[in-house]
Chain A
Amino acid sequence: MKQRFSFGALVRGAAGGHRHWQPQWRTPAMKRRYQVIVVGAGGHGLATAYYLAKNHGITDVAVIEKGWLGGGNTGRNTMVVRSNYLFPESTAIYDLALRLYEDLSRDLNYNIMLSQRGIVTLAHSRAELDGMARWATALQVNGIDSEIVDRDGVRRLVPTLKVADDARYPVVGGFLQRRGGIARHDAVAWGYARGADSYGVDIIQNCEVRDLIVRAGRIAGVETAQGVVEADSVALTVAGHSSVLAAKAGFRLPVTSYALQAFVSEPIKPILNTVVLSPVTGFYVSQSDKGELVMGGALDLYNSYAQRGNFPAIEGVLSSAVEMFPFMSRLKLMRHWGGIVDVVPDSSPIIGKSPVQGLYLNCGWGTGGFKAIPAGGFTLAHSIAHDTPHPIAAPFALDRFATGALIDEAGASGIAH
């Protein structure tokens, strides 16, 4: 049985010089056969394994990861969580995720440091504010908390933001989802890993999946750096590498891989207690518990697997930053990095069956799938256990690109992250 975290355990640990803490998951040897193999130990893969075990009693599961768990986009993202998407299908899945997040620290007995500090989306023109009024109202109709704020409201929420008429991007108002905020990305990966491991799921790190074994249109297993492993079902949760693995199984996806960058400043005293996002400049920012400003912006807009970004995007993000928040011009950047994101034409995920029987997909989250991790895992586990899509995930099937039933969040809300 896993050690449980609690105040009592902390006090006891302190008394013993904190020498009693044990590793949070095993490093097991890989078996030659599993009922289910999950490829990729990012948040979505680990959550899939956790819910397979917890909700469906399927524990003969391996999560096979080429690097270290949580080292992909899950450990590289800017941690924004929210559920303010436009269409009802999106609302259903992103709010399922947010509701699961709201209970996740307790469910996993692992503090994911969810901080529902609110997210303000800025309007820089009257037309944009009108669009947001429609957006916020649609959200309310779909049962999601959202409210329109005027310029003074924005000024009160974010005093350091330049809102005046003579600003390059004057702010006329915005809209707010108070339940939005940030959660600790590593903790989400580690918490799900620990949870899945405690049910007996094998997490195999440093083991690349090099090929998928397909026999007569059905998945039979995977070929890894440590040899062949058989399985009844295989799930691909590899984000930016989805096309690469799909090609191994003989099909293509409507996915393009791009590099997305993020930036953190040196730590400063608390100055920003909400998340601010500007669809016009593409810039968004929050302040971490350590005091760093965590910032992001637009993609590097050409196919890339390089996991590092390019200077034009850096310049774009940082010039927006100093224009909107003049005080930031005096800050130093501590780090910046990139992740490879899986972008789909309608900016909605692909969850469920693939053209190969027994092979399941969870990809296409693009620039915004951290917030969706609990729901991606929850619905994919259901799809695998029952070989039918979870009702909430059904609209996100791959066949929507042939039927035309796209869920065009790219066109609708035009927002990322």
Chain B
Amino acid sequence: MLLIPCPFCGPRAQIEFAYGGQSDIVRPKTPDAASDQEWAEYLFFRDNPKGSHRERWCHRDGCGLWFNLLRDTVTHRIARSSPVDEPRGGNA
């Protein structure tokens, strides 16, 4: 069982959370001009790294808020958890 630190409620059991996949996926800024490939990248293509992954979780059965987690996909070690509106910046 993962122990996930919600930035608002503190560490809680994994079963309280819903997973939302890769963070920081940006919708094409000019939708009319975006190519089919750009739409495909936005909708379907993902980084899927073996190692450090910046991902989105929702504290579904707690505060209900979404946040970002920096987690290793091999060891499941969690390096950082931050509110979803925190800019990507240099931290995570």
Contacts and interface: CB of A to CB of B under 8 A. Distances in A.
A243 B37 contact: no
B50 A254 contact: no
Interface residues of B, number: 26
B34 to A, nearest CB: 11
A306 B75 contact: yes
Contacts of B79: none
A302 B19 contact: yes
Contacts of A255: 46, 48
B73 A254 contact: no
A256 B73 contact: no
B53 interface: yes
A301 interface: yes
A302 B46 contact: no
Contacts of B37: 402
Given A303-B53, A303-B55, A305-B73, A252 B46 contact: yes
A334 B44 CA distance: 38
Contacts of B45: 252-254, 401
Interface in A379-411: 401-404
A311 interface: yes
Most buried by B among A244, A303, A310, A401: A303
Chain A contact residues (Cβ within 8 angstroms of B): what range? 20 to 34
B36 A253 contact: no
A310 B73 contact: no
A302 B4 CA distance: 13
Most buried by A among B19, B21, B46, B75: B46
Interface in A74-117: none
Contact of A254 (B14, B39, B44): B44
B36 A402 contact: yes
Given A302-B55, A312-B1, A256 B21 contact: yes
B73 to A, nearest CB: 5
Contacts of B40: 254, 401-402
B10 interface: no
A254 B46 contact: yes
Contact of A403 (B2, B36, B71): B36
A304 interface: yes
B24 interface: no
A306 B73 contact: yes
Interface string A293-305: 0000000011111
Contacts of A33: none
Nearest to A241: B50
B63 interface: no
B15 to A, nearest CB: 5
A304 B36 CA distance: 29
Interface string B1-27: 110000000000011000101000000
A257 interface: yes
A310 B2 contact: yes
B49 interface: yes
B85 interface: no
Nearest to A243: B48
Instruction: Please name the 6 residue pairs, one residue from A and one from B, whose CB atoms are nearest each other, closest first.
Output: A243-B48, A254-B44, A402-B40, A402-B36, A401-B40, A302-B19
26 contacts: A241-B50, A243-B46, A244-B48, A252-B45, A252-B46, A252-B47, A253-B46, A253-B48, A254-B44, A254-B46, A255-B46, A256-B21, A256-B46, A256-B48, A303-B21, A303-B48, A303-B53, A303-B73, A305-B50, A305-B73, A310-B1, A310-B14, A345-B43, A401-B43, A402-B36, A404-B36
Given A257-B48, A402-B36, 11 more contacts: A241-B50, A252-B45, A253-B46, A254-B40, A255-B48, A257-B50, A257-B73, A304-B73, A305-B50, A305-B74, A312-B1
